Chain A
């Protein structure tokens, strides 16, 4: 069965500092990969996704993620964090192929930003 591990439960960074959130997955083949953000009391917003091709993926709000097959990782990065980035971040995987909407999520990483 597929699984997603986000090793960091809570990360605190200063505004303007760089950010990297880690995500490792366990899956038989290369899955589809996603990063979502959730603000308190809100639903999930898609930041970026990887299906195939270029392993460096650009998303919204200045985020990017890099797929590394050899490490089964899909880490999320941002060069300069803004206070509004404080939220919970979820990495997710789904089986590749048409009609594959069943997402398996990690437990999330809560990001706090110090002014």
Chain B
């Protein structure tokens, strides 16, 4: 049984650089979510896909952030011109599009901007 996977697990980058993260959801799940978690806080919603359609974006997602899910399978989250305030754990979750909508999370990508 393969759960949600994320790559890379850790990323250290210098301020101003662009970074891209990948999420592979559970195969039969058509819903995919991105969340961001900073130290001592609960995860905060960033954006949501149903199949390949991006249906909602949080105001936390500034214009430096872009997310895609081109074929309704894996998703990428890109941050352009990174800032130190972008340092956080980026979590991906997926769920079926019916019944309980239980969300299953990946291991996260830890981003450190120096």
Interaction A to B: no
Q: Mark B residues whose CB is within 8 Å of A.
A: none
